Structure 1
Amino acid sequence: MTTTTDIVAKLWGLCNVLRDDGVTYNEYVTELTFLLFLKMLEETGRESRLPEGLRWCILAKREGMEQLDYYKAMLLELGKAKDGLVSAIFTDAQTRLRKPTNLKALTSNIDQLDWFSAREEGLGNLYEGLLEKNASDKKSGAGQYFTPRPLIDCIVRLMKPQPGEVVQDPAAGTAGFLVAADHHIKNQTDDLYTLPEAQAFFQRHNAFVGGELVPDAHRLCLMNMLLHGIEGGVENIDTLSPDGETIPKANLVLTNPPFGTKKGGGRPTRTDFSITADTSNKQLAFVEHIVRALKPEGRAAVVLPDNVLFEDNTGRRLRTWLMDLCNLHTILRLPTGIFYAQGVKTNVLFFQRGKTDKGNTKAVWVYDMRANMPAFGKTRPLTVADFADFEKVFGDDPNGNAKRQDLGEESRWRCFTRQQITDRNDNLDITWLRDTEAEAEEHLTEPEDIAAAIIGHLKAALEEIEALSDELEPDSVDEAAAVAEAAE
């Protein structure tokens, strides 16, 4: 067990203490974020970013109610700090702790950790390990903010982010994609040391941008980025509102946008949306944002649920528009059970923005990683090795221009021309292998995996119902109401 893994296990073990104080799992990680931020600034010699008198050593030395009162006042003051990143992390920050003994338990245990070894292995790795632990725990409900790291790493390897490029995630969550892209670039540049100073500054301050709607997820996002040497760049905004138009355009978009519909049936309020302005389907609206966010010849890899591939009306118009403006060169059909908090069937769409607005997609290559695959979950976690065959056939060109070969109907890798897709009414939900998903699910043994599979099927059904309801024209609704009234 590495030092980082050991520390993560110890920190996570403290949550059992806090449950007696009414602190939920997700609140616990937010609470830890506040405390770890203060401790890590001390460990890295960067406490000058904090206002005078607000230091970890002062907090840690106090006892009883005096410590809890000081901590509460400290959070309020940090939310007003002049340092933009500090104030962003602590904006509206409140502690859920009520018992002084629990705060003392946290500060004492954090002080006793092996911080020297943690610094050697990387404080960012420690924090990301904590986020992964939180996301993998079903009770925390945090999986909605966490894309499995093997999937992220596969996508980043294929998309090859480069120094000097702007990388965007419009639904950043805890910044998994952005941190992985940063890591990829640092591996190419000896941790940025081979870059000119101006370009290294750009990488730290301007290369990674995006938005995150949920305030607590935004805090985790900023903390994760900071500990990996990235200063800000992700705003606490609704990307589907006019605020989303202010996110800088990108050379590369990597994202796993939220699934489902906007609460209350709300529509995007973006002034630049023309395709999805009248739908409450969030993932369709995010696709329009991504296409509009790409610079000419910019590229994207986006995790999307199945309904984006087959939904009619707005969905079909969006797919046609996407294939006109972009070269949609590859679709990866992902297996079920790979997401911690949901069993919804998903795909990764890989595309490049064209120089023109017509006819950019000539053919779409599809890799089926879902049919005849084991049921992934707690007993069979997703690994980097699971993507090896897909990465091989994808090739080394991030825009799908590597030499490719259709391996036939018995294989997982097929090519479909634009005309063939047109003949399918631009339906991209393409399958050809016999799907033994149900047989794989029969071998699940962990209650959590079985429950996730059931929830996944229910969510998929609800998605289809919501999509149908959303796409009903007002005339159809009025007609249905009239029929129902006549039947009475």
Structure 2
Amino acid sequence: MVTGELKSQIDKVWNAFWTGGIANPVEVIEQITYLLFIRRLDDLHTLVENKANRTGQPIENRVFPEGKDDTGRAPRDFNDLRWSVFANRSADEMFTIVGQHVFPFLQQLGETGSSYARNMKDARFTIPTPALLVKVVDLLTAIPMADRDTKGDVYEYMLSKLATAGTNGQFRTPRHIIKLMVDMSAPTPTDVIIDPAAGTAGFLVVAGEYLREHHPEIFTDTLSRDHFNGPAFTGYDSDAAMARIGSMNLMLHGVDNPTMERGDSLAEDHPKTDSYTLVLANPPFAGSLDYETTAKDLLDVVKTKKTELLFLVLTLRLLKNGGRAAVIVPDGVLFGSSKAHKDLRRILIEDHKLDAVVKLPSGVFKPYAGVSTAILFFTKTSSGGTDNVWFYDVQADGFSLDDKRTELDAAVHEQNNLPDVFARWSAIAQSTGVELGRPRTAQSFMVSKAEIVAQGYDLSLNRYKEVEHEVVVHRPPRKILDDLAALDAEIAAGLAELRISLAAAE
């Protein structure tokens, strides 16, 4: 967690952009992302240089070429492209190097490089003045970025400053909600994980941190380590800025070479089907979209323009049999009465295994949106398997449910149900039978497939939850009238005594 002096240093970077004329928070993050990427390239080059110096061998896998930059624009030594070099130049020199040489170098990397490099291919340098560039470079140089945890925390704190929704309706999923979904999904070292609407890659980052914590053996085995640093993580986002930001977020959290692509997951060239073992996602609820832009194989399953339904169909297509998913959906998915809504719920329950519906309070996504949502947990089987569906009614997530989202006492159940959600879910995994025995009046309970089918595949929690009403015994009306008459008599007697007392005083 970023606190104290480090927090102050990051705030200074952010404020420098704002006072320097860049007020769009996404643009600020983009420019910081480019600069951190450049700094990262220099760090990588320094590592291979040090190795070469130790071994006496030539440098392998050079990041920066040798020789001169022959672009025709004031050719320079490629060494000038390095952060450690240009950071010590004069303001005007630094501005020229970064704008005219470093950014074209990043764009050229994108032609044959990793997904990081591909995402940097469209990088645009928009810092308006040499003075602002020097100030930002100096401030970023002062921030310690050698430790992986610190790097990740620094970038996450920067991302938390994205206080407004993006142009396509993107907003960051609260990290404690992501953590709950990842903990309940329990990623394994062999999982191939995808988020088809990745945004800043929060789900993938938290999944990576889960694996580091619960499976440290990954990093003692070459094959497992290579899997973690490559095929284990894939993200797609239709917004180029989000793809770049997500790439950097993963890299700063120690994932060397994931796939983070700019692309519309619902289009004809959506991610490869039957390829993943875990989907973690909070897809956009954009309402509707044009049939012409949507993959026909998705529309063949449910004919709809609702993106939330199409993303669920996509999730099933992406998963291998046996793969599992945790996906946030708007409440309408649970009880919508259209043919597409009903067909999709029937598919989840009859053709696959619907495991759980975790109902979230409506304030979870404030201040971005007040929409009511739930998390669906399901397993792709292509052969059914739903016996009972677990429902949990989350009434508090540890933060106030207003626009301020103030953190509350996480140790108090009434203010934070999330630890209880995970504890009860774990009891199901351990086959303790406790959840099967809970009454419908409890915060969580099981509902049989037969009952859900009888209710037309309705998955709204209130359809099955029983509310206890306290029985109030009222007195007979005649008794109430008698008591009122007695009170009137007491009042009259009191008034009479008061009059006598006043008369005697006169």
Normalised to the residue count of structure 2, the TM-score between the two structures is 0.76
User: Which residue of structure 2 lines up, in the alignment, with residue 97 of structure 1?
Assistant: 127
> After superposition, where does 1:40-439 map in structure 2 within 5 Å?
40-43=40-43, 45=46, 48-51=62-65, 52-53=78-79, 54-73=81-100, 74-81=102-109, 82-115=112-145, 119=147, 121-131=149-159, 133-135=160-162, 137-138=163-164, 144-190=170-216, 192-194=218-220, 196-230=221-255, 231-246=257-272, 249-262=275-288, 265-266=290-291, 269-275=294-300, 278-311=303-336, 312-340=338-366, 341-356=368-383, 359-370=384-395, 375=401, 377-381=403-407, 386=416, 387-395=418-426, 403=433, 404-431=435-462, 432=465
User: Which residue of structure 2 lines up, in the alignment, with residue 33 of structure 1?
Assistant: 33
Closer, same or farther: CA 46–25 of 1 in aligned 2, 3 Å: farther
> Is 2:44 the counterpart of 1:17?
no
**Helix, strand or coil: the match of 1:18?**
helix
Residue range with higher mean Cα deviation, 323-332 or 402-411: 402-411
Question: Do the aligned residues in 1 keep the contact of 2:119 with 2:240 (CA within 8 Å)?
Answer: no
Question: Do the aligned residues in 2 keep the contact of 1:171 with 1:257 (CA within 8 Å)?
Answer: yes
**Helix, strand or coil: the match of 2:341?**
helix
How many Å apart are 1:371 and its aligned residue?
A: 8.5
Residue range with higher mean Cα deviation, 68-77 or 231-240: 68-77
User: Could you tell me how far apart the structure 1 residues matched to 2:357 and 2:26 are?
Assistant: 33
**Helix, strand or coil: the match of 1:244?**
coil
Question: Do the aligned residues in 1 keep the contact of 2:172 with 2:199 (CA within 8 Å)?
Answer: yes
**1:160-182, CA deviations, whole angstroms, 9 ceiling, x for partnerless residues?**
11111211111111111112112
How many Å apart are 1:409 and its aligned residue?
A: 3.5
**1:21-72, CA deviations, whole angstroms, 9 ceiling, x for partnerless residues?**
2441111011111111222343464584345432112331233343223222
Aligned residues: percent identity? Answer: 26
Closer, same or farther: CA 12–276 of 1 in aligned 2, 3 Å: farther
Greater RCO between the two (CA within 8 Å, min separation 6)? 1
Question: Do the aligned residues in 2 keep the contact of 1:268 with 1:285 (CA within 8 Å)?
Answer: no
User: Could you tell me how far apart the structure 1 residues matched to 2:331 and 2:23 are?
Assistant: 36
Question: Do the aligned residues in 1 keep the contact of 2:12 with 2:139 (CA within 8 Å)?
Answer: no
Closer, same or farther: CA 299–414 of 1 in aligned 2, 3 Å: same
Larger radius of gyration: 2
User: Could you tell me how far apart the structure 1 residues matched to 2:428 and 2:253 are?
Assistant: 27
Closer, same or farther: CA 433–129 of 1 in aligned 2, 3 Å: farther
Question: Do the aligned residues in 1 keep the contact of 2:277 with 2:319 (CA within 8 Å)?
Answer: yes
How many Å apart are 1:394 and its aligned residue?
A: 1.4
How many Å apart are 1:344 and its aligned residue?
A: 1.2
User: Could you tell me how far apart the structure 2 residues matched to 1:35 and 1:248 are?
Assistant: 37
**Helix, strand or coil: the match of 1:14?**
helix
Question: Do the aligned residues in 2 keep the contact of 1:268 with 1:280 (CA within 8 Å)?
Answer: no
How many Å apart are 1:382 and its aligned residue?
A: 7.3
User: Could you tell me how far apart the structure 2 residues matched to 1:14 and 1:410 are?
Assistant: 51
User: Could you tell me how far apart the structure 1 residues matched to 2:13 and 2:117 are?
Assistant: 26
How many Å apart are 1:348 and its aligned residue?
A: 0.4
Residue range with higher mean Cα deviation, 205-214 or 265-274: 265-274
Residue range with higher mean Cα deviation, 412-421 or 169-178: 412-421
Question: Do the aligned residues in 1 keep the contact of 2:175 with 2:202 (CA within 8 Å)?
Answer: yes
Closer, same or farther: CA 120–332 of 1 in aligned 2, 3 Å: closer
Question: Do the aligned residues in 2 keep the contact of 1:372 with 1:434 (CA within 8 Å)?
Answer: no
5+ unaligned residues in a row in structure 2: which ranges? 49-61, 66-77, 469-506
User: Could you tell me how far apart the structure 2 residues matched to 1:141 and 1:197 are?
Assistant: 41
Opposite residue 190 of structure 2, the aligned amino acid is G
Normalised to the residue count of structure 1, the TM-score between the two structures is 0.79
**1:366-423, CA deviations, whole angstroms, 9 ceiling, x for partnerless residues?**
111148996255253378762011112212566x966323432432112222222223
Closer, same or farther: CA 158–170 of 1 in aligned 2, 3 Å: same
How many Å apart are 1:109 and its aligned residue?
A: 1.2
User: Could you tell me how far apart the structure 2 residues matched to 1:258 and 1:372 are?
Assistant: 21
Question: Do the aligned residues in 1 keep the contact of 2:115 with 2:261 (CA within 8 Å)?
Answer: no
Question: Do the aligned residues in 2 keep the contact of 1:50 with 1:83 (CA within 8 Å)?
Answer: no
**Helix, strand or coil: the match of 2:270?**
helix
User: Which residue of structure 2 lines up, in the alignment, with residue 460 of structure 1?
Assistant: none
**Helix, strand or coil: the match of 2:385?**
coil
**Helix, strand or coil: the match of 1:278?**
coil
How many Å apart are 1:323 and its aligned residue?
A: 1.3
Closer, same or farther: CA 252–65 of 1 in aligned 2, 3 Å: same
How many Å apart are 1:278 and its aligned residue?
A: 3.4
Residue range with higher mean Cα deviation, 212-221 or 78-87: 78-87
User: Could you tell me how far apart the structure 1 residues matched to 2:254 and 2:292 are?
Assistant: 36
How many Å apart are 1:107 and its aligned residue?
A: 0.7
How many Å apart are 1:103 and its aligned residue?
A: 1.0
**1:422-453, CA deviations, whole angstroms, 9 ceiling, x for partnerless residues?**
23222212213679xxxxxxxxxxxxxxxxxx
Closer, same or farther: CA 277–426 of 1 in aligned 2, 3 Å: closer
